[in-house]
């Protein structure tokens, strides 16, 4: 990991990122990647405090700066406190990466509506709450990065409720980018394709995984680091990319 501290090009102030769902999967890869770029990191977790603290310890051991902060992304008071904690520790927030989300798969005809409510609470309300806090607090020159899925275009059966929640996230992102006119804050969504994370692999047999991998022209599953590279681009040099959905999927149609 680089020991160089990332600073705002105009002010020289050290840059700070808050990553929701930062203790595992894509979130953990994003934490590691931004830490290598010199960001101080707030590692948010929903339930696995030990995993979040291990993530923080790894960043600190490599010469970086990080703290853990937990809470339900859909609870506005809790997330306000998370933002407060990160700001108090590091002096402000420049980038918010909202990787927190859940995926429950079922045909629409048989979906338990309680599962629909769970998906919407975390994915839609959670993204809205985090985006709202970020819109109020991020310093000029910053970035908000939300997460969708390439299945909004691939339209796999069984993904109806999940894709509906992610399509809502895309809409929230595109509107917020325009609402923040004049604030010098970019707002984008990353839409990964099939990526080898526990969220994606859980409940799938080897044949299904192989089929999804070969559906990609590059003929492999994405890795969390592949997605983290796109996030690092949007968090850093990509100041002219705004109000976009970036499909990071190896060419999946």
Backbone angles phi, psi at 47, to 5 degrees: -135, -25
Span 91-115, pLDDT tens digits: 999 999 999 999 999 999 999 999 9
**Backbone CA torsion sign across 172, 169, 143, 23:** positive
Distance separating alpha carbons of residues 97 and 44, to the nearest angstrom? 10
Looking at the chain, list the stretches that DSSP marks H as alpha helix, in order from N- to C-terminal side.
25-36, 49-61, 76-90, 113-119, 126-137, 151-154, 160-179, 198-201, 206-214, 224-235
End-to-end CA distance of the chain: 35
Under a CB-based contact definition with an 8 Å cutoff, are residues 226 and 29 in contact?
Answer: no
pLDDT at 1 over 60: no
Question: What is the per-residue burial (b if ≥16 Cβ within 10 Å, else e) of 156-185?
Answer: eeebbbbbbbbbbbbebbbebbeebeeeeb
Reported as type and span, the H/E element at residue 146 is: strand 143-147
| Structural domain includes residue 8 | no
pLDDT at 3 over 50: no
Question: Tokens for 49?
Answer: 């405090």
Strands 143-147, 95-98: parallel, antiparallel or unpaired by DSSP? parallel
Question: Any catalytic annotation for residue 120?
Answer: no
| Structural domain includes residue 253 | no
Mean pLDDT of the region 211-237: 89
Q: Which of 45, 120, 159, 162 is catalytic?
A: 162
Distance separating alpha carbons of residues 140 and 232, to the nearest angstrom? 17
Q: What is the mean pLDDT of the chain?
A: 92
| Structural domain includes residue 200 | yes
Residue ranges making up the domain that contains 96: 16-246
| Structural domain includes residue 3 | no
Q: Look up the CATH number of the domain holding residue 213.
A: 3.40.50.720
| Structural domain includes residue 5 | no
What percentage of the chain has pLDDT greater than the value 70?
96
What percentage of the chain has pLDDT greater than the value 90?
77
Q: What confidence score (pLDDT) does residue 157 get?
A: 92
Low-confidence winner among 62-76, 138-152, 197-211, 227-241 (lowest mean pLDDT): 197-211
| Structural domain includes residue 181 | yes
pTM (2 d.p.)? 0.92
Structurally, the chain folds into a number of domains equal to 1
Distance separating alpha carbons of residues 193 and 207, to the nearest angstrom? 17
| Structural domain includes residue 214 | yes
| Structural domain includes residue 116 | yes
Q: What confidence score (pLDDT) does residue 247 get?
A: 96
Q: Residue 70, Cβ neighbours under 10 Å: how many?
A: 18
pLDDT at 2 over 60: no
Distance separating alpha carbons of residues 169 and 131, to the nearest angstrom? 10
Span 103-149, pLDDT tens digits: 999 999 999 999 999 999 999 999 999 999 999 999 999 999 999 99
């Amino acid at each position: 990991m680089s020991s160089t501290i990332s600073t705002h090009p105009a002010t020289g102030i050290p840059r700070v990122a808050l990553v929701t769902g930062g203790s595992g999967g894509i979130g953990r890869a994003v934490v590691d990647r931004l830490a290598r770029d010199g960001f101080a990191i707030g590692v948010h977790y929903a339930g696995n405090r030990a995993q979040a603290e291990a993530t923080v310890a790894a960043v600190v051991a490599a010469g970086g700066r990080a703290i853990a902060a937990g809470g339900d992304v859909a609870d506005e008071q809790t997330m306000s406190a998370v933002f407060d904690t990160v700001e108090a520790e590091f002096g402000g927030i420049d980038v918010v990466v909202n990787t927190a989300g859940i995926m429950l798969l079922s045909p629409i005809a048989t979906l338990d509506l309680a599962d629909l409510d769970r998906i919407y609470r975390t994915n839609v309300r959670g993204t809205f709450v985090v985006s709202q806090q970020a819109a109020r607090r991020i310093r000029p020159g910053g970035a908000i990065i939300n997460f969708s899925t390439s299945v909004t275009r691939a339209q796999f059966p069984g993904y109806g409720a999940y894709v509906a929640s992610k399509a809502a996230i895309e809409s929230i992102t595109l509107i917020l980018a325009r609402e923040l006119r004049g604030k010098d804050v970019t707002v984008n969504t990353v839409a990964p394709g099939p990526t080898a994370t526990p969220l994606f692999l859980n409940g799938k047999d080897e044949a299904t995984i192989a089929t999804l991998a070969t559906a990609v022209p590059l003929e492999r599953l994405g890795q969390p680091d592949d997605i983290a590279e796109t996030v690092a681009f949007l968090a850093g040099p990509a100041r002219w990319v705004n109000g976009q959905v970036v499909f990071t999927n190896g060419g999946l149609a």
